């Protein structure tokens, strides 16, 4: 067990989960609390770009936490998305920007704001505590905001995210448009992943009334290119449905240039897509115009329309 409090984001970590762990651990350290950022999964290509750009080390990988471990969660709160054995750890703090599905039988610091990114909340915490934001920390935060808001194009993006990003860009000394496009483009590279890996680059598990489902998302600049491999993705998805007893698997490829998503929907609840969007599935797929956000435009519709 680590003597330090471990700070981490959700499984299948995205840029916000990784960078916010580092940013939060730094804040804790600056305030005199010994903290260490760790990660709960493989770094994706987009996040890889950030580490290469900054030339810094990646956080250490952990598979689970030991009983009694002190932890801080960022960018998530649901146990289904958290590291194994979280029920036996002691959660000191949660800093998040998602729907709350969290209970703890003890007092803790819980902060979630309806903004586009954990980094936006962390920026405010740095300011409230008069802790300096250096160039590296600013670049990490800015990368998370760009990633989570798809360069401010997602409906999850708030004026606050945009304002904070502008301030961070000055400290980071980057051109947001240029850096942002390069960052998002780096994340669309799935050439080195197997179909089973692609469907889990960014998948999240949810449960409602005993129904288990996953929503996975990848970014792309070319939907046709992704769907050339549809049959391989379907095989991987069906395997996972069987192995994990899922009722539904929605795999969304989000076109970051045109702000649409094409989904593959499989499982005994696959038709939830038709109910939610009024669009029948065509060969297990549907093109959802204007849909880019899992949190705002996919998850709530699925929760509402499950049988
Ligand atoms: Mg995230
Ligand atoms: Mg996030
Ligand atoms: Mg995301």
Same domain as 153, residue 39 = yes
- Ion ligand 2: protein residues whose beta carbon lies under 5 Å: 16, 75, 118, 148
159 and 202 in a common domain = no
Residue 284 CA to ligand 1 centre (angstroms): 26
CA 213 – ligand 1 centroid, Å: 17
Residues 176 and 237 in one domain: no
**CATH number, domain containing residue 201:** 3.10.310.20
Q: Are residues 128 and 248 in the same domain?
A: no
Phi, psi (degrees; rounded to nearest 5) at 180:
-60, -45
Regarding whether 170 and 32 lie in a shared domain, the answer is: yes
CATH number, domain with residue 75: 3.90.1640.10
If asked whether residues 210 and 155 sit together in one domain, one would say: no
Number of domains in the chain: 2
> Rounded to the nearest whole angstrom, what is the distance from the C-alpha of residue 250 to the centroid of ligand 1?
17
Q: State the distance from the centre of ligand 3 to the C-alpha of 293, rounded, in angstroms.
A: 8
Final residue of a domain: which of 136, 160, 186?
186
pLDDT recorded at residue 2: 87
| Residue that terminates a domain, selected from 186, 219, 251 | 186
Q: Do 234 and 265 meet the contact criterion of CB atoms below 8 Å apart?
A: no
Q: What is the pLDDT of residues 118-153, one digit of tens each?
A: 999 999 999 999 999 999 999 999 999 999 999 999
> Are 254 and 222 within one domain?
yes
Q: Which ligand sits nearest to residue 81's alpha carbon? A: 1
Q: Does residue 154 share a domain with residue 289? A: no
- Ordered DSSP codes for 162-199: HHHHHHHHHHHT--HHHHHHHHHHHHT--TTS-HHHHT
- Domain containing residue 11: 5-186
pTM equals: 0.92
- CA–CA dist 33, 31 (Å, integer): 6
Task: Give residue 307's pLDDT.
Answer: 87
Q: Are 218 and 257 in contact (CB under 8 A)?
A: no
Positions in the chain short of pLDDT 50: none
Angle (CA) 29 100 18, round 5°: 40
Please, what sign has the CA dihedral across residues 162, 199, 62, 92?
positive
**Segment (H or E) for 118:** helix 118-128
């Amino acid at each position: 067990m680590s003597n330090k409090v471990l700070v981490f984001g959700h499984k299948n970590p995205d840029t916000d989960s990784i960078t916010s762990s580092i940013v939060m651990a730094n804040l804790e350290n600056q305030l005199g609390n010994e903290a260490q950022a760790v990660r709960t999964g493989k770094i994706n290509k987009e996040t890889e770009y950030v580490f290469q750009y900054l030339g810094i080390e990646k956080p250490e990988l952990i598979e689970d936490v030991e009983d009694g471990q002190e932890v801080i969660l960022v960018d998530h709160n649901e146990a289904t998305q958290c590291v194994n054995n979280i029920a036996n750890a002691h959660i000191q703090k949660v800093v998040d920007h998602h729907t709350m599905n969290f209970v703890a039988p003890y007092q803790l610091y819980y902060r979630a704001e309806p903004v586009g990114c954990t980094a936006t909340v962390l920026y405010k915490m740095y300011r409230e505590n008069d802790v300096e934001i250096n160039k590296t920390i600013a670049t990490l935060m800015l990368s998370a905001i760009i990633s989570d808001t798809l360069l401010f194009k997602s409906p999850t993006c708030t004026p606050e995210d945009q304002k904070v990003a502008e301030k961070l860009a000055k400290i980071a000394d980057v051109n947001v448009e240029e850096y942002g496009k390069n960052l998002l483009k780096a994340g669309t590279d799935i050439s080195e992943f197997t179909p089973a890996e692609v469907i889990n680059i960014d998948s999240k598990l949810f449960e409602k009334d005993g129904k288990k489902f996953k929503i996975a998302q990848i970014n792309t600049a070319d939907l046709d290119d992704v769907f050339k491999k549809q049959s391989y993705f379907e095989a991987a998805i069906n395997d996972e449905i069987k192995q994990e007893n899922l009722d539904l698997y929605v795999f969304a490829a989000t076109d970051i240039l045109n702000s649409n998503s094409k989904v593959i929907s499989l499982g005994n609840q696959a038709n939830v897509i038709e109910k939610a969007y009024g669009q029948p599935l065509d060969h297990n797929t549907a093109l959802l115009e204007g849909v880019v956000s899992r949190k705002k435009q996919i998850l709530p519709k699925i929760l509402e329309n499950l049988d």
